[in-house]
A and B are shown apart, each in its own frame.
Chain A
Amino acid sequence: MTALRSRRRHGYIALGLTAVAALTLAGCAEGGDEGGDSGSVEGETVEIAGGITGSEAENLQKTFEQFEEDTGITVNYTGDKGFEGNIVTKVAGGSAPDIAIVPQPGLFRSLVETGEVKEGTAEVEANVDEYWSSIWKDTGSVDGTFYAAPMLANLKGYVWYSPKSFAEWGVEPATTWDELITLTDTIREKTGEPPWCAGFFSEAASGWPGTDWVEDLVLRQAGPDVYDSWAAGDTPFTDPDIEAAFDSVGEILLNPDYVNAGFGDVKSINSTAFGDPIAAAVANGTCALTHQASFLTANFLTAKTADGATPEVGPDGDVYAFLLPGPEAGELAVEGGGELVTAFSDDAATQQVLEFMSTPEFADARVKLGGAISANTGADPTLASSEFLTEAMKIVQDSNTVFRFDASDLMPATVGSGSFWRGMVDWIDGKPTPQVLSDIQAGYQD
């Protein structure tokens, strides 16, 4: 019994001791970290994340050099190939970067829905009002609240060709859809090979180059109003207008006489990567025509012509591009895209960076480094690295241009980067068009 009592006493003593120790130790609350020099941003670091990688990322980082010197802010850009998926995880986990460069309006909207995105500041908004057309501002806004300024732009809907070969064959770039088909037939007669090449392979995002084809045709054939209502989900994929666009694309892409130059039959479109192999085929002459956005210039930098030289991009050079024509010749409604500079932090340094990124100075600095264009109307298009990009930049800056964002990027992800991409792949694989259309539409229910 005594043993028991002493044991109990031990227990009490121990408890008492620890409690006293605990209370004395636990008394020290930490001071807040609001101190120091608010107002000065010297020495602050701003983290930017995005899906831009490789040399484009280096150029983006270089764009901030002058700004860093002037302000003392360090800007760290990190490119990540899996950015679209990882940013969702990071935001959900409460570990977002200060700024994310989001390439798709749809993804941007779902990030805003998390409630983590900071509203655009008055300075940035003023810049956007001044230097961009309203469609850009609308894209960076959700429910009338402005969040994000655009960064760079790209222009879709180009048909790449070789001016030298065209001169050889005595043909001209087409100005109407019918001319384009005639042009295709002519080249086929001259060469005996399919003139067009296409590549839909883009790893987990395979199929997206196909959506650009369809979007271009909807925009050119059915017009901007139908395009808008389709992008908003009001016009279903099963609508005759959309089906007509698919049929037009099919005239080229599903025709074994027209595709897939240098790669095989129609089905090889799915296994051909969208960038390098296509650029290589256009550069060395095995492929006469391909449909791709303005970024393809980047792939031509490392391609080679048949005689082993780097292809020259220009109206009389080795490669150049004309806009995919509509049913009638004349002014074209064009489709393009751009990144949205999304902020997750509102400290002073981040706000300064955001403001800088919405100025013409930023656009000029980046455009000068090559391979990029901006829709910022204060920027100088002649700074672009090639004649082609200068032309493209003038188009996106022109207030008379009917400009539309990539529809698949505007749709909810389950369609725009889900069933639509998958549908294009299935369609090339031979699934009948009506079936494909209803499958894509079903993505809205997921």
Chain B
Amino acid sequence: MSQTTTSAADQAQGTPPPERGGRKPPSRRTTRLVVTIGLILIAALIVFLLLSPPNPDARPVSLGFSYNSFFQWIGNMGPIVQIPIILVIFAAVVGILLVLIEYAPRAGRGYFWLRLISCFAIPFLAFMMLRPYQGAVIYVIAIALIAGGLLFWADYRASQGAGYLYQLTLFMAPAAIAILVGLVYPSIATIIQSFFDKTGENFVGLENYVWAFTNPQGFWSIINTLIWAIFAPVFATVVGLAYAAFMERARGERLLKLLVFMPFAIAPVSISLIWKFVYDYRQGEQIGTLNAIVVAFGGQPVPWLDIWPLVNTFCLLFAFVWAQTGFAMVVLSAAMKAVPVEQLEAAQLDGTSAWQRFINVTVPGIRTSIIVVLTTVTIAALKLYDIVAVMTGGRANSTVLGFEMVNQQQRFQSYGHSAALAVLIFVFVTPLIIYNVLQLRKQREVR
């Protein structure tokens, strides 16, 4: 699992020529060769582990302290007491990390030793605190030490000078480990799963994908998800932007901000209840706000969530937009405040109208934030599950991919189907990724 260090080492190869002169750049070939050999060694150790005989009465081995014992110790306190304790410990760990980042890369003998020892000690400690079983201890220690040694070696010979790669690894390691364990591994497993049948035992090729497009729920969920992914972010961003702009020039900004932000802070559990009292449909005395208005104007109550096509989807979509607008509004309003006043004043002197100023000065000024908001809301819309589940249960073709995915997984245990739907959600987000990559490139060029 912990190949983060070495993969980072790999990537550091072939970076641009060193900025600092003085030291002759080490031979890149040798470095590469050693790193490769090290990786092969680690792989070999894992293979050994795979082949090692089971030992039924093996016990966990620890240094006398481990993650397990630490969490047990803290878990036996009261919930409120735990907060300061865990924060202090966390701060200490981050502090050590920053101190190492700052001092270890410096040139000099003491720093050299600091780097060397920490390279070996940190992986060793991290691995030993897992409490590996007796049969695995030797392998685990060997893997940790080889990985640490490789990092040290690659770092020592790196063309940017010793210490650069070391810093980079420390910056990245906590996030990298979290992402690899909790997200990369499951997503790879999901992709693999999508080519297998319900039990996950028989390979079925593209059958699950065919199923996703051919069964009626699958088809409508794809169409609706597209509608959600296109309209929800646009609505939320446009309303959020307009509101932020109005608010800036309105009185009582604080209260106005709070009122629109509030829906974003409401738990999804309660959102369904709130909208139940908006869309409720019955004869006689109304309890749904929307139909009460309709009836007050002499109309017949309308079954909002049952009218297909589009009406029900947009009714659900509005509930989602209502919650997301608060997010869009706070981010965009913060960005707007950073638009230089001089530019606006200059435009004003040129005699442009407020609308022109908004379009030509403000919007370009907050472009990055708009993209961030659009991206975030789009991803939330693609993953959407709860609003559809609690408000319509997917009836009248209002279902979306996220809802069908959870259904297939939790209710039917059809893991192949749910994995295929998850992969489809991923496919839908690709254009967004490409767009963001282009933006990133542009931004880097400007810098």
Tell me the A residues contacting B by CB distance below 8 Å: 10-11, 14-15, 18-19, 22, 25-32, 84-86, 88-89, 110, 201-207, 262-264, 267-268, 270-272, 277, 286, 413-414, 417-418, 422, 425, 429, 446
Point out the residues of chain A lying under 8 angstroms from B149, CB to CB.
15
Q: Could you tell me if B284 and A286 are in contact, using CB atoms closer than 8 angstroms?
A: yes
Whether A84 and B411, one on each chain, are in contact in the complex, defined by CB atoms closer than 8 angstroms, is yes
Of all chain A residues, which has the CB nearest B117?
A14
Q: How far is the CA of A206 from the CA of B305 in the complex (A)?
A: 13
Mind listing 8 A-B residue pairs with CB under 8 Å? A15-B145, A29-B134, A31-B59, A84-B410, A85-B406, A272-B282, A429-B396, A446-B414
**Residue among A25, A32, A202, A277 making CB contact with B59, cutoff 8 Å:** A32
B-side contacts of A262, CB under 8 Å: 282-284
Contact B393 A205 (CB under 8 A): yes
Question: Knowing that A18-B124, A206-B392 are A-B contacts, what are 12 other residue pairs whose CB atoms are under 8 Å apart, sorted by A's residue number?
Answer: A14-B120, A26-B128, A27-B61, A28-B62, A29-B61, A30-B131, A31-B59, A204-B393, A267-B303, A270-B395, A270-B396, A271-B305
CA gap between A349 and B215 in the complex, in Å: 48
Cβ-closest 10 pairs across A and B? A85-B410, A206-B393, A204-B389, A29-B59, A18-B120, A413-B412, A414-B412, A29-B61, A263-B282, A204-B393
Q: Mark B118-151, 1 if CB is under 8 A from A, else 0.
A: 0011001000100100100100010001000100
Residues of B within 8 A of A (CB): 59-64, 112-113, 116-117, 120-121, 124, 128, 131, 134, 137, 141, 145, 149, 211, 215, 217, 272, 281-284, 301, 303, 305-306, 389-390, 392-396, 403, 406-407, 409-414, 417
Residue of A nearest to B137 (CB): A26
Residue numbers in A under 8 Å from B134 (CB-CB)? 29
**In the complex, A380 Cα to B303 Cα: how many Å?**
46
Judging by beta carbons under 8 Å apart, are B413 and A263 in contact?
A: no
Assess the A446–B61 pair: CB atoms within 8 A: no
Chain B residues with CB below 8 A from A85, complex form: 406, 409-411
Of A10, A207, A268, which contacts B281 at CB under 8 A? A268
Give the distance in Å from the alpha carbon of A33 to the alpha carbon of B282 in the complex. 61
B305, closest chain A residue (CB): A271
B281 near A18: Cβ-Cβ < 8 Å: no
CB contacts (< 8 Å) of B392 on chain A: these are 206
Q: Complex formed: what's the CA distance from A316 to B419 in Å? A: 55
| Set A22, A84, A264, A286: member contacting B141, Cβ < 8 A | A22
Q: What CA separation (Å) do A30 and B394 show in the bound complex?
A: 52
Chain B residues lying within 8 Å of A201, measured Cβ to Cβ, are 393
Q: Are A268 and B303 in contact (CB under 8 A)?
A: yes
Question: Out of B120, B217, B390, B410, which one reaches A203, CB within 8 Å?
Answer: B390
Best-surrounded residue of B61, B117, B283, B284 (most CB of chain A within 10 A): B283
Q: Once the chains bind, are B281 and A264 in contact (CB under 8 Å)?
A: yes
A424 CB, nearest partner CB in chain B, Å: 10
Q: Chain A contacts of B217 at CB under 8 A?
A: 422
Known: A14-B116, A28-B61, A270-B306. A88 touches B128 (CB 8 A): no
Of the candidates A18, A26, A28, A414, the one whose C-beta lies within 8 Å of that of B121 is A18
Chain A residues, CB < 8 A from B306:
267-268, 270-271, 429
Q: Is A28 in contact with B393, judged by CB distance below 8 angstroms? A: no
Q: Is the CB of A264 within 8 A of B282?
A: yes
Contact A264 B303 (CB under 8 A): yes
B411 touches A22 (CB 8 A): no
**What's the least CB distance linking A405 to chain B, in Å?**
19
Give A10 to B63 CA distance when docked, in angstroms: 26
Residue of B nearest to A194 (CB): B283
Find chain B residues with CB under 8 A from A11 CB: 116
- Residue on A nearest B287 in the bound complex, by CB: A277
B395 touches A277 (CB 8 A): no
Interface centre among B59, B134, B395 (most CB of A within 10 A): B395
Q: When the two chains form their complex, are residues B410 and A88 in contact, meaning their CB atoms are under 8 A apart?
A: yes
Q: How far is the CB of B73 from chain A (nearest CB, A)?
A: 15
Closest A residue to B138 using CB positions: A26
CB-based nearest A residue for B300 = A264
Q: Give which listed residue, B63, B215, B403, B413, contacts A28 with CB less than 8 A.
A: B63
Known: A18-B120, A262-B283, A268-B281. A26 touches B61 (CB 8 A): yes
Q: Which residue of B lies closest to A425 (CB)?
A: B395
Would you give the shortest CB distance from A429 to chain B, in whole angstroms?
7
CB neighbours (8 Å) of A18 from chain B are 120-121, 124, 145
Residue contact B413 to A413, C-beta cutoff 8 Å: yes
Q: Residue on A with the closest CB to B217?
A: A422
In the complex, which of the residues A22, A270, A414 contacts B124, with contact meaning CB atoms closer than 8 Å? A22
A30 touches B411 (CB 8 A): no
Given contacts A22-B145, A201-B393, A268-B281, contact A88 B413 (CB under 8 A): yes
In the bound complex, residues from chain B placing their C-beta under 8 Å from that of A429 are 306, 395-396
Closest chain B CB from A415 CB (angstroms): 9
Contact residues in A for B61 (Cβ distance below 8 Å): 26-30
Taking a contact as CB atoms under 8 Å apart, the answer to whether A19 and B283 are in contact is no
Take A28-B63, A89-B410 as given contacts and tell me if A264 and B283 are in contact as well, using a CB distance cutoff of 8 Å.
yes
Q: Which residues of A contact B62 (CB under 8 A)?
A: 28, 30
The residues of A that contact B215 with a CB separation of less than 8 Å are 446
Q: How far is the CB of A80 from chain B (nearest CB, A)?
A: 12
**Contact yes or no, B141 A26, CB < 8 A:** yes
How long is the Cα–Cα vector from A11 to B131 in the complex, in angstroms? 27
With both chains docked as a complex, state the minimum distance between the C-beta of B197 and any C-beta of chain A, in angstroms: 11
In the bound assembly, the distance between CA atoms of A303 and B239 in angstroms comes to 40
Distance of A29 Cα from B113 Cα, bound (Å): 31
**Which residues of the other chain, B, contact A263 by a CB distance below 8 angstroms?**
281-283
Assuming the A-B contacts A25-B128, A264-B301, A271-B306, are A413 and B63 also in contact, with contact meaning beta carbons closer than 8 angstroms in the complex?
no
In the bound complex, what is the Cα–Cα distance between A271 and B59 (angstroms)?
A: 57
> In the complex, what residue of chain B is closest to A13 when comparing beta carbons?
B116
CA distance A28 to B406 in the complex (A): 45
Let me know if A30 and B59 touch, CB within 8 A. yes
The distance from the CB of A418 to the nearest CB of chain B, in whole angstroms, is 6
Residue among B124, B131, B417 with most chain A CB within 10 A: B124
Provide the residues of chain A in CB contact with B121, threshold 8 Å: 18
Nearest residue (CB) in B for A19 is B145
Q: Tell me if B283 and A413 are in contact (CB < 8 A).
A: no
- Interface-central residue, B141, B301, B410, B412, by most chain A CB under 10 Å: B412
Give the docked Cα–Cα distance between A110 and B413 (Å). 9
Residue of A nearest to B112 (CB): A10
Identity of the chain A residue whose Cβ is nearest the Cβ of B211 in the assembled complex: A446
Specify the chain B residue showing the minimal Cβ separation from A267.
B306
Contact B414 A28, beta carbon cutoff 8 Å: no
Q: Are A418 and B411 in contact (CB under 8 A)?
A: yes
CA distance A174 to B294 in the complex (A): 40
Interface centre among A22, A84, A262, A267 (most CB of B within 10 A): A22
Residues of B within 8 Å of A418, CB to CB, are 407, 411-412
A271: which B residues are within 8 A, CB to CB? Answer: 281, 303, 305-306
Query: Given the complex of chains A and B, what is the CA–CA distance between A270 and B305 in angstroms?
Result: 10
- The answer to whether A413 and B411 touch across the interface, beta carbons within 8 angstroms, is yes
CB-CB nearest in chain A for B388: A204
Task: Look across to chain A and name the residue whose beta carbon is closest to the beta carbon of B284.
Answer: A262
In the complex, the answer to whether B393 meets A414 with C-beta atoms within 8 Å is: no
CB distance from A202 to the nearest CB of B (A): 7
How far, in angstroms, from A16 to B128 measured CA to CA in the complex?
A: 18
Contacts of A110 in B (CB 8 A): 413
* B120, closest chain A residue (CB): A18
Residues of B within 8 A of A206 (CB): 392-395
Hey, which chain A residues are within 8 Å of B63, CB to CB? 25-26, 28
Given contacts A28-B62, A29-B61, A204-B393, contact A414 B145 (CB under 8 A): no
Task: List residues of chain A with CB within 8 A of the CB of B283.
Answer: 262-264
Q: How long is the Cα–Cα vector from A27 to B149 in the complex, in angstroms?
A: 23
Q: Which residue on chain B has the smallest CB distance to residue A418?
A: B412
Minimum CB–CB distance for A442 against chain B, Å: 9
Q: Measured between C-beta atoms, what is the minimum distance from B110 to chain A in Å?
A: 12
Bound complex: CA of A27 vs CA of B413, how far in Å? Answer: 44
Which chain B residues border A27 with CB–CB below 8 Å? 61
CB distance from A66 to the nearest CB of B (A): 29
Distance in angstroms between the alpha carbons of A271 and B282 in the assembled complex: 9
Q: Which residues from chain B contact A203 at a C-beta distance below 8 Å?
A: 272, 389-390, 393
